[in-house]
């Protein structure tokens, strides 16, 4: 993932998706806004349910040349032809995942609010590091990833960084100079009109 001047959108799916409606909704979002990457952040461990959701979302994404990764399911990522995996355990399983998926896969790491975990993840070969939540959110243990962390990271570290969790237009304005990607999910899917909600957030950049 390249790091342009303006942050890009890293779209996170809802934890449960309705196959009858979500692919169309996802397609409309991808057609309306430039999206750098999609993360399937599906709840539960039923492989069949996850696989069906992943297949439907992958078709929509790949038809538009958008990369799609899945949270934590390394073997499913491979089996379902996804572009990589997003790991929630900081730097712990990056090396093993990289070995499993190969050099071309996207391997990202959620590091909560820990610059130490972030640096270790980068050293271990993560393609990007995500910090959060940046606002009020159930992400991680709720410890806020402060603006200072992003500021320091963007000045010192080459690895692209994602800001996610509890984003608001104000936070986006504040963090835009210091982050490469905004991880946007619940902020739009919890609204009646995800497209309008997304536009409000992207306008803030």
> What does the pLDDT read at residue 173?
97
**pLDDT score for 72:** 96
Question: What is the chain's alpha carbon radius of gyration, rounded to the nearest angstrom?
Answer: 16
For 8-203, the fitting CATH number among 3.40.718.10, 3.40.50.970, 3.20.20.70, 3.40.50.2020 is 3.20.20.70
Strand boundaries in the chain, DSSP class E: 8-12, 35-40, 67-71, 84-87, 106-110, 128-131, 161-164, 181-184
What distances in angstroms separate CA 162 from CA 47, 87, 174, 183, 200, one per listed residue? 27, 13, 14, 6, 19
Q: Is 125 left (phi over 0), alpha (psi -120 to 50) or beta?
A: left
What is the C-alpha to C-alpha distance for residues 164 and 97, in angstroms, rounded to an integer?
22
Q: What is the largest CA-CA distance in the chain?
A: 45
Question: Read out DSSP for 58-87?
Answer: HHHHHHTT-EEEEES-HHHHHHTT-SEEEE
pLDDT at 5: 76
Q: What is the pTM of this model?
A: 0.95
- What are the average pLDDT values for consecutive 10-residue runs of the chain, which has 205 residues? 75 97 97 98 94 97 98 96 96 96 98 97 98 94 95 97 98 97 97 96 96
Closest by Cα among 32, 27, 36 to 3: 36
């Amino acid at each position: 993932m390249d790091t342009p001047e303006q942050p890009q959108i890293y779209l996170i799916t809802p934890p449960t998706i309705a196959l009858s409606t979500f692919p169309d909704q996802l397609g409309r979002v991808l057609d309306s806004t430039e999206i750098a990457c999609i993360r399937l952040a599906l709840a539960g461990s039923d492989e069949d349910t996850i696989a069906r959701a992943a297949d439907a979302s992958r078709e929509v994404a790949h038809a538009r040349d958008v990369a799609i990764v899945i949270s934590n399911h390394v073997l499913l990522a491979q089996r379902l032809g996804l572009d990589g995996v997003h790991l929630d355990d900081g730097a712990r399983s990056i090396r093993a995942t990289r070995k499993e998926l190969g050099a071309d896969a996207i391997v990202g790491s959620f590091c909560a609010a820990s610059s130490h975990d972030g640096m270790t993840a980068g050293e271990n070969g993560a393609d990007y590091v995500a910090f959060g939540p940046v606002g009020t959110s159930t992400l991680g243990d709720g410890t806020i990833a402060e603006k200072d962390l992003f500021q320091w990271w963007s000045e010192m570290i080459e690895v692209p960084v994602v800001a996610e969790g509890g984003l608001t237009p104000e936070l986006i304005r504040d963090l835009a100079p210091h982050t490469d990607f905004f991880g946007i999910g619940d902020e739009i899917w919890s609204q009646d009109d995800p497209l309008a909600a997304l536009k409000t957030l992207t306008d803030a950049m």
